[in-house]
Structure 1
Amino acid sequence: MNTYQRKRRRPVSEINVVPYIDVMLVLLIIFMVTAPLVTQGVKVDLPKAEAQALDEEAKPPLVATVDAQGQYYLNVGDTQDEAMSAVDLATLVATHLQREPETPVVVKGDGAVAYSQVVDLMVLLQRAGAPSVGLMTSPPEN
């Protein structure tokens, strides 16, 4: 007598996550490619000078900008391209430096702006708690 035994298959309760991993990798690559293209800023004509570049491994600096009309900008938050008052700028810088005290602070002043306005911005940053303030320049054209 041959007895035929039929094996019962149990239902598999596993989820195949390989397609989800593929989609996530594609999204990661898309975001890595598009992130540098999304950077925003205020257009200023920086003075030309030879200067040593900031260390690339350091934290990204706080960039306080004064444009040709004397308006202030800061590269923090969602309002990077909106002008702000001196009080708002000082408050934002002080708050950021309390959270991350090692953050370098740099002034980006338009070449056409009066020197006194750049100095006023530097004093404002110093009063907000910046231990030192650097000046941002463009490399000279040869």
Structure 2
Amino acid sequence: MAQSNWRGGRGRRTKNEINMVPFIDVMLVLLIIFMVSAPLMPTGVVDLPSVGKAKQAPEKVIEVVVGEGEQVSLRIDQQDSGSMKLAELTKRVKAAQDSTAGGPTAAPVIISARKDVRYDAVLKIMDTLQRAGVARVGLTVHTTGG
């Protein structure tokens, strides 16, 4: 809205201001539109994955344990077999899986690492095992040190 000020005989000066009334009118109309249309919108349904329960625990579990400094050891049925290199690990995991029934019923391989182990080391082991053709590779995390 422009206002005029008379100062003596020097003429007319205008003062510029922002007129807020149209802005408020537009905001109120938008508010009413959203309030009316919000209950009419369909609610979204999120399909979350579910965890299935196995009928029975697997007979044999192969666990790859990643320790400090990317030390890798193999644990088959709770029996440790010492640390080894990655190339040797893939051969021993394949041999352990082949000793059980092959195909989809092969013994699952679980990569187990402490929280302070770099995720890159775990991914490298997982990628190496999958490239070697090891089936059923999963991950687990130790929450305690040791």
TM-score (norm 2): 0.51
Aligned to 2:65: 65
Q: Give the letter aligned to residue 107 of structure 1.
A: I
CA RMSD of aligned residues (A): 2.9
Q: Give matches, 1:40-119, under 5 Å.
A: 55=54, 56-76=56-76, 80=80, 82-100=82-100, 101=102, 102-119=106-123
Letter in 1 for 2:120: S
Residue 113 of structure 1 aligns with an amino acid whose one-letter code is: V
Q: Shift in Å at residue 54 of structure 1?
A: 7.7
Q: Specify the structure having the higher radius of gyration (Cα).
A: 2
Report Cα offsets for 1:37-57 as digits up to 9, x if no partner: xxxxxxxxxxxxxxx698453
More strand by share: 2
Query: 1:80: how far off?
Result: 1.8
CA distance in 2 between counterparts of 1:66 and 1:54 reads 27
Is 1:135 the equivalent of 2:118?
no
Equivalenced residues, count: 89
Structure 2 CA distance, aligned partners of 1:67 and 1:127?
Answer: 22
* Structure 1 gap ranges (5+): 1-51
Structure 2 runs not aligned, ≥5 long: 1-50
Q: Closer, same or farther in 2 for the Cα pair 1:118/1:99, shift >3 Å? A: same
State the shift of 1:132 in Å.
2.5
The change in CA–CA distance for 1:62 and 1:117 in structure 2 (over 3 A counts) is same
Distance 2:75 2:52 in 1: 18
The CA deviation at 1:60 is 2.7
Percent same amino acid at aligned positions? 23
CA distance in 2, matches of 1:72, 1:86: 7
TM-score of the pair, normalised by structure 1: 0.52
Return structure 1 stretches of 4+ with deviation > 6 angstroms.
Answer: none
- 1:15-67: CA deviations, max 9, x gaps? xxxxxxxxxxxxxxxxxxxxxxxxxxxxxxxxxxxxx6984532231100111
